[in-house]
Amino acid sequence: MRIERIGVGSTEQPAAEIVGAKAANLARVAALGLPVPPAFVLPIELCEAIVNRDPAARQQLADGLAEGIKYLEDATGKVFGDRRHPLLVSVRSGAARSMPGMLDTILDVGCTHAAINGLIRMSGQPHFAFDCRRRFLEGYGSIVFGADPETFKTRLDAMIVAEAAANEQELDSEAIERLAASYQQRIEDDYGMLAETPMEQLRAAAEAVYRSWMSERAMTYRKLQHFDDLRGTAVTVQAMVFGNSGPSSGAGVAFSRDPSTGAATPVIDVMFGSQGEDVVSGKHTPETEESIVRALPAIAAQLRDALARLEHGFGDVQDVEFTIEEGTLWILQTRAAKRSPQAALRFAIDFVNSGRITPGEALRRLSGLDLNRLVYKRLAGVGQPVGHGTGASAGIAVGRAAFDPASAARLADAGNPIILVRPDTSTADVAAFAVSSGIVTAVGGRTAHAALVARQMDKPCIVGCADLAVDANARRAQLPLAVLREGDWLSIDGDAGTIYLGRGTILSERPETELAEVERWRTDAHAVAAPR
């Protein structure tokens, strides 16, 4: 087995079928000269054997991890889990085709008690060090041991209330330290002693990420997307860069163009003092590009430039995850953006008109769409909106409110259109997305993994409805001027981010000008192909 190395100056271009699309794209980002934290990749070929707990494969895994960590230590000048200059790593999944949020990632691996001391020594920030520890325990406990994530959320919420803080970022270092200790105690009470050697943590994390290939949500997504030919996931181990290391740090997701409407304007979400999972998990509502412009204008300009270079280098609209670490920008991954059908049409026309792709390539990119069914929709007869959020996936939907996947499935089986109303956007709800006409969430951003999946499924989606309080157990939700109960009719506008009570009327209009352009490409292609 061979591991692939990725870092500054690397030029190798491994195939996605070997290392997964995420790592293959990361290698291309590094080759473009953009800043990429060093990483190494364990191949897809190990996945099935690791899932089956094959002893020989587990030894290959251990050997590959040891070799790869030596590379990362040499590249960073740090030592894995060290008490003076600690290297921490992320352990990420990556199939040959993008499966956003369906497989597992564990951050801050190697954050042992010794490494906490090293982080404090390096940064002078106990809050940052213990925040890394509690984040590691959340991910490791949930993914390696299978602990219910609500176990940790309940403790975090209780600590925020006890300390009279607005959120976890306002907790002081002593409170974060106690929180991390309570996480560890809960894990050890339920599952036994926690590994405190960094290589033991890493081996367990890598095996767990491989096993996430067989998770229920991953199998459901592959079935929905007809990904039956995929053979497994690779595992990418990457040196951590820290968006939670201070006020000039943060994590975010950026699209080089709007993946919902097709507008030629970047869409950028960021959370300062955070790590990447905070943004893509859909459990928080992020800030927009304007916040970066105000706080770190040079980084905002650098990010815009990186998006343009990535879009040009890959020849398609890009979905980019980035971290800002103490005023330095790092690109963690990029992929072709999941897009709504109307955005796909707009992108194809814009790219042809600018000379970036040929009409033939545009037709290939549109081949999976039924253009005869592509319409622009708008609502009528709905009155004033009762709620507002951020439009994450364009379109109009009308349906009955459902507050959990089981209710959505039951109402859909009875022949009802469904609007899924949830506290946050989670890829665990992918099966409910499939039976719903639209999705509304109280928190989350346009760039969360679940919002990406909604766009890919062409489901109108509104996120970050701050005035919406969802009680899934009681199957109801509260808006400032209305109470929603299971089965109530809702109408949503995914373009405007507005929510209406009642059963609105959907009016449709075909984008005739754009469709005529596509038809002209087809006519020209047939003329060229016809025998003379």
SS3 track for 244-271: CCCCCCEEEEEECCCCCCCCCCCEEEEE
pLDDT tens series, the chain, 532 aa: 899 999 987 888 999 999 999 999 999 999 999 999 999 999 999 999 999 999 999 999 999 999 999 999 999 999 999 999 999 999 999 999 989 889 999 999 999 999 999 999 999 999 999 999 999 999 999 999 999 999 999 999 999 999 999 888 899 999 999 999 999 999 999 999 898 899 999 999 999 999 999 999 999 999 999 998 999 999 999 999 999 998 899 999 999 999 988 999 999 999 999 998 888 777 788 899 999 999 999 999 999 999 999 999 999 999 999 999 999 999 999 999 988 888 999 999 999 999 999 999 999 999 988 887 788 889 999 999 999 999 988 899 999 999 999 999 999 999 999 999 999 877 788 889 999 999 999 988 888 877 888 888 889 999 999 899 999 999 999 999 899 999 999 999 999 999 999 999 999 999 999 999 999 999 988 877 666 6
* Other Cβ atoms closer than 10 A to 288: 15
Per DSSP, what are the bridge partners of residue 87?
80
Q: Which residues, 6+ apart, have CB-to-CB distance to 264 below 8 Å?
A: 257, 258, 350
The answer to whether the beta carbons of residues 275 and 135 sit under 8 Å apart is yes
pTM for the predicted model, two decimal places: 0.89
Pairing of strands 4-6, 39-42: antiparallel
Three-class DSSP category at 233 = strand
Alpha helices in 77-148 (DSSP H): 113-123, 126-143
Q: Enumerate residues 6+ apart whose C-beta is below 8 A from 410.
A: none
**353 contact partners, CB below 8 Å, separation of at least 6:** none
CA distances from 449 to 100, 186, 444 (A): 6, 28, 10
Kind of pairing between the strands at 438-441 and 461-463: parallel
Contact in structure between 242 and 411 (CB atoms under 8 Å):
no
Using an 8 Å Cβ cutoff, are 433 and 439 in contact?
A: yes
Q: How far apart are CA 16 and CA 24, in angstroms?
A: 5
**Tens digits of residue pLDDT in 305-352:** 999 999 999 999 999 999 999 999 999 999 999 888 889 999 999 999
Task: Let me know: does 78 contact 86? Beta carbons within 8 Å.
Answer: yes
**Amino acid letter at 179?**
L
By the 8 A CB rule, do 176 and 130 touch?
Answer: yes
In this structure, the chain runs to a length of 532
Round to whole Å and give the CA distance between 276 and 253.
8
Q: For Cα atoms 293, 283, 29, give the angle at the middle one, nearest 5 degrees.
A: 55
- The per-residue b/e assignment along 274-283, b for 16 or more CB within 10 angstroms, e otherwise, is bbbbbbbbbb
Residue in 515, 465, 520 with CA at minimum distance from that of residue 490: 465
Contact status, residue 305 vs residue 312, Cβ threshold 8 Å: no
All structural domains of the chain: 1-108+205-239 (3.30.1490.20), 113-196 (1.20.80.30), 341-372+510-529 (no CATH), 375-509 (3.50.30.10)
At 59, the amino acid letter reads Q
Q: How many CB atoms lie within 10 A of CB 248?
A: 15
DSSP 3-state assignment of 72? helix
334: helix, coil or strand?
strand
